[in-house]
Amino acid sequence: MNKVDTAGNRESIGAPVSSSPGRHSLIRRRSTSLTAGRSELLTKYPEYAATHAIDELRSREFDRLDRLGHVYLDYAAGGLYAEAELHDYYASLRGDVFGNPHSTAHLTALASAARVAQTRADILSFFNAASDEYAVIFTPNTTGALKLVGESFPFTSEHHLLLTSDNHHSVNGIREYARRAGATVRYLDVDPIDLRVEDTIVSEALVYQEAEVEGLFVFPAQANWSGVKHPLRWIGEAQRHGWLVLLDAASFTPSSHLDLGKYHPDFVALSFYKMFGHPTGVGCLLARKAALSKLQRPWSSTAPDRAVPGQPSAQPPSSANFEDGSLNYLSIPAVSIGLHQLSEIGMGLIQTRLMILTEWLLTELQGLTHSNGTPVAVVYGPKHVQARGPTILFNLVDPNGVLADGTAIEQHANLQGISLRTGCLLNAGGPTEAVRASLGLASNFDDCFALIDFLKQQTDLTAQEMANPLLS
- Pick the closer one to ligand PLP by CB: 247 or 463: 247
Least Cα distance to 173 among 426, 459, 461 occurs for 426
| Interface pick for ligand PLP out of 250, 260, 463, 467 (rule CB under 6 A) | 250
Query: Which positions ≥6 away from 197 have C-beta within 8 Å?
Result: 164, 165, 166, 188, 189, 190, 191, 219, 230
Minimum Å distance from CB 96 to ligand PLP?
29
Minimum Å distance from CB 360 to ligand PLP?
23
Asked if 268 is part of the footprint of ligand PLP (rule: CB under 6 A), the reply reads: no
Which of left, alpha, beta for 313 (phi over 0: left; psi -120 to 50: alpha)?
Answer: beta
- CA dihedral of 346, 350, 352, 358, whole degrees rounded to 10: -170
Minimum Å distance from CB 80 to ligand PLP?
15
**How many Å apart are CA 27 and CA 418, to the nearest integer?**
18
Asked if 172 is part of the footprint of ligand PLP (rule: CB under 6 A), the reply reads: no
Looking at 2-10, 245-253, 305-313, 395-403, which segment touches ligand PLP (CB under 6 A)?
245-253
- Pick the closer one to ligand PLP by CB: 13 or 76: 76
| Interface pick for ligand PLP out of 58, 159, 168, 288 (rule CB under 6 A) | 168
Q: Which of residues 73-112 bind ligand PLP (CB under 6 A)?
A: 76-77
CB atoms near residue 97 (< 10 Å):
9
Asked if 142 is part of the footprint of ligand PLP (rule: CB under 6 A), the reply reads: yes
- Pick the closer one to ligand PLP by CB: 62 or 273: 273
Minimum Å distance from CB 250 to ligand PLP?
4
| Interface pick for ligand PLP out of 9, 143, 226, 328 (rule CB under 6 A) | 143
- Pick the closer one to ligand PLP by CB: 14 or 440: 440
User: Contact at 8 Å (CB) between 38 and 445?
Assistant: yes
Asked if 224 is part of the footprint of ligand PLP (rule: CB under 6 A), the reply reads: yes
Minimum Å distance from CB 222 to ligand PLP?
7
User: Contact at 8 Å (CB) between 318 and 7?
Assistant: no
Q: Which of residues 271-330 bind ligand PLP (CB under 6 A)?
A: 271, 283
**How many Å apart are CA 267 and CA 244, to the nearest integer?**
8
- Pick the closer one to ligand PLP by CB: 9 or 164: 164
Residue 339 half-sphere exposure, CB side, CA atoms within 13 Å? 21
Minimum Å distance from CB 270 to ligand PLP?
8
| Interface pick for ligand PLP out of 220, 406, 417, 429 (rule CB under 6 A) | 220
Give whole-number Cα distances, 447 to 197, 358, 466, in Å.
31, 11, 20
| Interface pick for ligand PLP out of 2, 9, 112, 141 (rule CB under 6 A) | 141
Minimum Å distance from CB 428 to ligand PLP?
13
CB atoms near residue 377 (< 10 Å):
20
| Interface pick for ligand PLP out of 11, 66, 248, 453 (rule CB under 6 A) | 248
Asked if 265 is part of the footprint of ligand PLP (rule: CB under 6 A), the reply reads: no
Minimum Å distance from CB 76 to ligand PLP?
6
Specify the DSSP class assigned to residue 221. S
Minimum Å distance from CB 40 to ligand PLP?
32
Q: How many residues bind ligand PLP (CB under 6 A)?
A: 14
- Pick the closer one to ligand PLP by CB: 255 or 302: 255
| Helix (H/G/I), strand (E/B), else coil: 222 | strand
User: Contact at 8 Å (CB) between 214 and 241?
Assistant: no
Query: Which positions ≥6 away from 211 have C-beta within 8 Å?
Result: 158, 159, 160, 242, 243
Give kind and range of the element (H or E) at residue 271.
strand 267-271
- Pick the closer one to ligand PLP by CB: 112 or 253: 253
Let me know if 182 is exposed, middle or buried by CB neighbors in 10 A (0-12, 13-18, 19+).
exposed
| Interface pick for ligand PLP out of 51, 170, 321, 341 (rule CB under 6 A) | 170
Minimum Å distance from CB 167 to ligand PLP?
7
Asked if 251 is part of the footprint of ligand PLP (rule: CB under 6 A), the reply reads: yes
Find out whether the peptide bond into 279 is cis, omega within 30 degrees of 0: yes
**How many Å apart are CA 189 and CA 18, to the nearest integer?**
51
Asked if 209 is part of the footprint of ligand PLP (rule: CB under 6 A), the reply reads: no
Helix segments in 368-414, DSSP class H: 406-414
CA triple 379-190-427, angle to 5 deg: 80
- Pick the closer one to ligand PLP by CB: 78 or 469: 78
Q: By the criterion CB under 6 A, which residues form the site for ligand PLP?
A: 76-77, 141-143, 168, 170, 220, 224, 248, 250-251, 271, 283
